[in-house]
Structure 1
Amino acid sequence: MKTATAPLPPLRSVKVLDQLRERIRYLHYSLRTEQAYVHWVRAFIRFHGVRHPATLGS
């Protein structure tokens, strides 16, 4: 059985980490979860040479 889910609201921020924080807060995740996700995404971005995630495929 499928449940109807409301579409996510558009993101207000342009910065990747701010978008991540905004989405995590919208989903009501805990502060520690937010901190962990931001930590790992920041490490991922640094590992790939501080390139924007949208440009990683090219």
Structure 2
Amino acid sequence: MDRISLVFRVEKTIHLSNSEERLYISPPLVVSFNTQLINQVNFRLPRLENEREANHF
């Protein structure tokens, strides 16, 4: 079995309610999957446009 583990973090500039911006940096995230029968993996992350969405993530 071919198992891959990947550690990553998300960095994105988000918009605050007072027209300011700040850099959001997620904690380290770990994904692990079996690649035996696949040759491509896609990740779909939620929207991170504002402080509320960043806090929810």
TM > 0.5:
no
Higher fraction of helix? 1
Q: TM-score, normalised by structure 2?
A: 0.23
Q: TM-score, normalised by structure 1?
A: 0.23
The answer to which structure, 1 or 2, has the higher relative contact order (CA under 8 A, 6+ apart) is 2
Higher fraction of strand? 2
